[in-house]
A = this chain, B = another copy of it.
């Protein structure tokens, strides 16, 4: 029994005529006759009683008619749902990101995207290596990560340049100056994330490269907590512009430039080279570039 058979059978049921069904399905009458009698042979039941030249359903036929309609409807529903996926009326995107992007940038970008497309978005936060692994598994569709990615099977495209800002409380003595010399940092209490965090790595690497000494007085494993501590003037810190945008704008934190020193890092969009790029996927990548904060 094929879907075609079922379609033929249901049509014959509804028109109570093989010839009429043939017309409706744009095929010859013998094709219908043959299909029906083949079904009867396969199923070993009579589907129609042929009395006079009128067809009437047998009990078995009535049962098959009822199932047949359900089956055809389900197939139609499946096809139309897939069509919705194709036309981005439905969909799913699985994104993996670094902590900073995941917390301070993506929620807004995804929010905007979902205004245009009513799709499900899943996102996972992890370090670059972890995100890379998820891409290999095809557990996520794309990643936004920091730093270089070494697999030649992964496509890497530059996304946004991030900068870490030296920030202090508005009551800190630097708040007025807006700019300091590197030497001024040496005796300042610094609040920093734990070893291994991306933020700390860039800070230490940059400071070392510029031969600036520093003193990390407090370690907190949470950027929000660091911001609160800086606001309370417990010390100063170096935090992604994405994470302190609001506080600087609101005046609760002050950005302080350091002569000749900038803490920089680059985010990239990554995905597997063999990944099939659905319409939705491409649309999301475009959206990422349009809405990113430069």
Residues of A within 8 A of B (CB): 1-4, 43-46, 49-52, 54, 56, 58-60, 63-64, 67-68, 70-71, 74-75, 77-79, 81-83, 85-86, 91-92, 136-138, 153, 272, 274-276, 278
Contacts and interface: CB of A to CB of B under 8 A. Distances in A.
Contact of A1 (B67, B79, B138): B79
A83 B60 CA distance: 9
25 contacts: A1-B79, A3-B3, A43-B83, A43-B86, A44-B83, A45-B278, A46-B276, A49-B138, A49-B274, A49-B276, A50-B274, A51-B272, A52-B153, A52-B274, A54-B138, A59-B92, A63-B78, A64-B82, A67-B74, A67-B78, A68-B78, A71-B71, A71-B74, A71-B75, A71-B78
Contacts of A49: 138, 274-276
Contacts of A68: 78
Contact of A67 (B43, B81, B278): B81
Contacts of A50: 274, 276
Contacts of A60: 82, 85-86
Task: Name which of A3, A64, A92, A275 has the most chain B CB atoms within 10 A of its CB.
Answer: A3
Copies assembled: 2
Given A51-B275, A67-B78, A82-B63, A138 B43 contact: no
A91 B50 CA distance: 19
B67 A77 contact: yes
A106 to B, nearest CB: 19
Given A52-B136, A63-B81, A71-B75, A2 B1 contact: no
A87 to B, nearest CB: 10
Given A77-B67, A136-B52, A274-B51, A1 B1 contact: no
Nearest to A5: B3
Given A3-B3, A43-B83, 8 more contacts: A2-B2, A45-B85, A45-B278, A51-B136, A52-B274, A63-B82, A67-B75, A68-B78
A47 to B, nearest CB: 9
A83 to B, nearest CB: 8
A191 B92 CA distance: 84
Task: Name which of A59, A75, A81 has the most chain B CB atoms within 10 A of its CB.
Answer: A59
